[in-house]
Amino acid sequence: MRALIAGNWKMHGLLADVATLAAPLREPAESLACDLLVCPPATLIAAVAAALAGSKVAVGAQDCHAKHTGPHTGEVSAAMLKDAGAAWVILGHSERRADYAESDAIVRDKAEAAIACGLTPIVCVGETGTQKAAGRAEEVVGGQLLGSLPDDFAGIVAYEPIWAIGTGHIPTEADVIAMHAFIRAELVRRFGLAGHGFRILYGGSVKPANAAALLNLPEVGGALVGGASLKPEDFLAVARAVAG
């Protein structure tokens, strides 16, 4: 299975930035050994999808509502994101879990809605620094997997230790190997053979300088990239670190 390098632009980007953030990915994506995905803010999905139409770069969203339509002021449904040109959606990012008290149950409902609409969910899990220091990383991640993934899950899991996001700190290679092996085992225990097929991304301060070391570890099926995805040359350098 090809690795996936997914960029999370978070709350960055205006229409005028599409030409500099998305368009430069078109040509280089043709010769990469991995799949490439960008997840701009909802306001830019249609423009980014248009800029990347016919290319090998996929477009996703950063969140969706669990309901398809209805009286939910300010919200955007999975169907609306698909209509705008998204094929993927990041769900349960730690910033949303923290800022909006998104529980595992909410993330699971969103994942169900996304799958029902034909979007591929990227469900984020990861422990805080305090939880890691207390030796509870696997317990926390195991609980998030159990609660956030629906029984009909068909998508991707992103392991993002919260203490590594935007900090420049990354786990040791041994820790990444151990956590990804744990997640794989949990997926297989719950989903049987299908559990072998879900890519598991690593996320947290992935940069060109550390990408090769992180991306070629066992069970690391790619990366979810925040800051470095806002510089196309860095984002592409991360993607080129995937061994062909």
Q: How far is the CB of 160 from ligand PEP (least distance, A)?
A: 5
Of 28-36, 49-57, 189-197, 218-226, the window that binds ligand PEP (rule: CB under 6 A) is 218-226
Of 14-22, 130-138, 179-187, 219-227, the window that binds ligand PEP (rule: CB under 6 A) is 219-227
Q: Is 8 in the site for ligand PEP (CB under 6 A)?
A: yes
Q: Is 118 in the site for ligand PEP (CB under 6 A)?
A: no
Q: How far is the CB of 226 from ligand PEP (least distance, A)?
A: 2
Q: Is 227 in the site for ligand PEP (CB under 6 A)?
A: yes
The residues annotated as belonging to the active site are 93, 160
Q: How far is the CB of 124 from ligand PEP (least distance, A)?
A: 7
Q: What is the DSSP letter of 66?
A: S
Of 78-86, 128-136, 158-166, 183-191, the window that binds ligand PEP (rule: CB under 6 A) is 158-166
| CA nearest neighbour of 22 among 230, 208, 207 | 230
Name which of 95 and 104 has its Cβ closer to ligand PEP. Answer: 95
Q: Is 205 in the site for ligand PEP (CB under 6 A)?
A: yes
